[in-house]
């Protein structure tokens, strides 16, 4: 098997399946790994992932497998599309089989809940700093359902090494799929993970009242607090105005494809968290990320009022109406903080 140079996509949920179909468009072999044997069997039987991406027929050059080592052996490109909470576990099993020069692209959007680590930090903690140079984050506004139908989409790939980022750019960039590079891994990871918290919130507003004003306020002030946290963690503030920040926030807060938004709508309509999640039946990353973001805000001493109210609604049974009232009753403040302006100046001078 060694030397086959194929692409291995790990995780046959909606995103892994859509990306496998996308990558199949450039030819060559794609191995799509699923953990559950029944899913492998189902996809093999009809060349369609009926649970996670119904209606899309998998191209012939995708081989679906439940054998992780077999999927990875000889793979030159490895795309991780498993939920954030299972990234460490899958990575641990995969690492002994991954060849040293393979490009690793992680497409998950989340923060590890207990450790509050970004997924690139999880990667380095497992793979070691020596192998960190081959790691790329792919993020941006990109619902699987639309990518699988080849609808125009733009994403960003982040790595401190431009050469590594460009390898991922070359792998993924095709007609109707534009890929930008960005050296700011922290900003891209924080933007991609935390927009899910805000999407749960705008979903709740949809379920409560549908107020467009309230949703616009949540999105805008949500981006402000995501940027504030990102800056404290040494991200480039301008990343949050890009595809992994504003771009993904817009799509997730407005699309009915969004699982975070849909779960939020059900909570706004009065369902308990567990019921709302059961209704969506796919990963809703924003729930675990809310807990992690709440912890990060405390660790970094950053004010994140929307995240804090989301934490109370999701984990402390606060009625959503009360959360809205709390946000509206906050002490008056300025829109643009001096500290933000000085940080932007610092970034521009540094780069
Ligand atoms: N669906 C989308 O449009 C997009 C999703 N993403 C991100 O991609 C990641 C994956 O999401 P989806 O594919 O949408 O989720 P999904 O809910 O559609 O599928 C998740 C898949 O992961 C599998 N899985 C769960 N635990 C696992 C474990 N321990 N080991 C191996 N596999 C496991 C499930 O069986 C399922 O096949 C998430 O972080 C999500 O935020 C990013 C961009 C777009
Ligand atoms: O990240 C996504 C789109 O860019 C997917 O969002 P959801 O997980 O809310 O569906």
CATH of the domain at 191: 1.10.1040.10
Q: Radius of gyration (Cα) for the chain, nearest Å?
A: 20
Would you say how long the chain is, in residues? Answer: 351
Residue 21 within a domain: yes
Are residues 198 and 306 both part of a single domain? yes
Q: Ligand 1 centre from 20 Cα, in Å?
A: 13
The pLDDT score that the predictor gives to residue 38 is 98
Determine the structural domain holding residue 108 and report its residue range.
Answer: 7-183
The pLDDT score that the predictor gives to residue 349 is 76
Q: Which one of the listed residues 195, 215, 271, 332 is annotated catalytic? A: 195
Residue 1 within a domain: no
The pLDDT score that the predictor gives to residue 3 is 55
Residue 2 within a domain: no
- Show the ligand 2 pocket: residues with CB < 6 angstroms: 109, 141-143, 196, 199, 248, 251-252, 257-260, 285
345 among the known binding-site residues? no
Are residues 196 and 296 both part of a single domain? yes
Nearest residue (CA) to ligand 1, atom 39:
108
The pLDDT score that the predictor gives to residue 341 is 73
Are residues 205 and 327 both part of a single domain? yes
Are residues 251 and 137 both part of a single domain? no
Q: Ligand 1 centre from 330 Cα, in Å?
A: 36
Are residues 190 and 326 both part of a single domain? yes
Q: Does the annotation count 195 as an active-site position?
A: yes
Q: What is the ipTM of this complex?
A: 0.99
The pLDDT score that the predictor gives to residue 245 is 98
Are residues 110 and 169 both part of a single domain? yes
| pLDDT mean for each 10 residues of the chain (351 residues) | 79 98 97 98 98 98 98 97 98 96 98 98 96 97 98 98 98 97 98 98 97 98 97 96 98 98 98 97 97 98 98 98 98 83 74 67
**What count of Cα atoms within 13 Å lies in the side-chain half-sphere of residue 308?**
13
13 among the known binding-site residues? yes
What whole-number distance in Å separates Cα of residue 156 and Cα of residue 158? 6
Q: What is the pLDDT of residues 239-292, one digit of tens each?
A: 999 999 999 999 999 999 999 999 999 999 999 999 999 999 899 999 999 999
CA dihedral 37, 143, 76, 242 (to 10 degrees): -150
**Domain boundary residue, one of 183, 205, 227:** 183
247 among the known binding-site residues? no
Q: How many domains does the chain have?
A: 2
Q: Ligand 1 centre from 263 Cα, in Å?
A: 16
Are residues 91 and 118 both part of a single domain? yes
Q: What is the pLDDT of residues 194-228, one digit of tens each?
A: 999 999 999 999 999 999 999 999 999 999 999 99
**What count of Cα atoms within 13 Å lies in the side-chain half-sphere of residue 187?**
27
Are residues 38 and 129 both part of a single domain? yes
258 among the known binding-site residues? yes
What whole-number distance in Å separates Cα of residue 82 and Cα of residue 23? 17
Residue 117 within a domain: yes
Residue 39 within a domain: yes
Which ligand 2 atom sits nearest the alpha carbon of residue 258?
Answer: 10
> For residue 263, which ligand has an atom nearest its CA?
2
Are residues 91 and 197 both part of a single domain? no
CATH of the domain at 174: 3.40.50.720
Nearest residue (CA) to ligand 1, atom 7:
108
Residue 301 within a domain: yes
**Domain boundary residue, one of 126, 151, 183:** 183
Residue 107 within a domain: yes
Residue 178 within a domain: yes
Are residues 142 and 209 both part of a single domain? no
3-state secondary structure the chain: CCCCCCEEEECCCHHHHHHHHHHHCCCCCEEEECCCHHHHHHHHHHCEECCCEEEEECCCCEEEECCHHHHHCCCCEEEECCCHHHHHHHHHHHHHHCCCCCEEEECCCCECCCCCCEHHHHHHHHHCHHHHHHEEEEECCCCHHHHCCCCCEEEEEECCCHHHHHHHHHHHCECCEEEEEECCHHHHHHHHHHHHHHHHHHHHHHHHCCCHHHHHHHHHHHHHHHHHHHHHCCCCHHHHHCHHHHHHHHHHHHCCCCHHHHHHHHHHCCCCHHHHHHHHCCCCHHHHHHHHHHHHHHHHCCCCHHHHHHHHHHHCCCCHHHHHHHHHCCCCCCCCCHHHHHHHHHHHHHC
Q: Ligand 2 centre from 162 Cα, in Å?
A: 26
**Domain boundary residue, one of 183, 209, 241:** 183
């Amino acid at each position: 098997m060694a030397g086959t140079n194929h692409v291995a996509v790990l995780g046959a949920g909606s995103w892994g399946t859509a990306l496998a179909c996308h990558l199949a468009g450039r030819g060559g072999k794609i191995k799509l790994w699923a953990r559950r044997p029944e899913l492998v069997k189902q996809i093999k039987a009809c060349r369609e992932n009926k649970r996670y991406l119904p209606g899309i027929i998998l191209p012939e050059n995708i081989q679906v497998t439940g054998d992780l080592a077999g999927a990875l052996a000889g793979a030159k490109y490895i795309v991780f599309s498993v939920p954030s909470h299972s990234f460490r576990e899958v990575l641990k099993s995969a690492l002994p089989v991954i060849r040293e020069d393979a490009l690793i692209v992680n497409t998950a959007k989340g923060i590890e809940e207990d450790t509050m680590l970004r997924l690139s930090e999880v990667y380095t903690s497992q793979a070691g700093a020596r192998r960190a140079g081959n790691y790329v984050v792919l993020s941006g506004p990109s619902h699987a359902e639309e990518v699988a139908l080849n609808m125009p989409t733009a994403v960003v790939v982040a790595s401190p090494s431009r050469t590594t980022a460009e390898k991922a750019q070359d792998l993924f960039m095709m007609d109707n799929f534009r890929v930008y590079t960005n050296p700011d891994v922290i900003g891209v990871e924080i933007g991609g993970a935390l927009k899910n918290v805000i999407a749960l919130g705008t979903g709740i507003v949809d379920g409560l009242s549908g107020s467009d004003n309230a949703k616009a306020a949540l999105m805008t002030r949500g981006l402000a607090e995501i940027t504030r946290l990102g800056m404290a963690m040494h991200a480039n503030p301008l990343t949050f105005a890009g595809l992994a920040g504003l771009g993904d926030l817009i799509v997730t807060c407005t699309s009915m494809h969004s699982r975070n938004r849909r779960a939020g709508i059900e909570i706004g309509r009065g369902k308990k968290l567990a019921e709302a999640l059961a209704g969506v039946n796919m990963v809703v990353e924003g729930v675990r990320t809310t807990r992690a973001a709440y912890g990060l805000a405390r660790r970094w001493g950053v004010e994140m009022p929307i995240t804090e109210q989301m934490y109370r609604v999701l984990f402390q049974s606060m009625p959503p109406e009360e959360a809205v009232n709390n946000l509206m009753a906050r002490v008056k403040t300025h829109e643009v903080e001096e500290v933000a302006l000085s940080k932007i100046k610092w970034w521009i001078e540094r780069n």
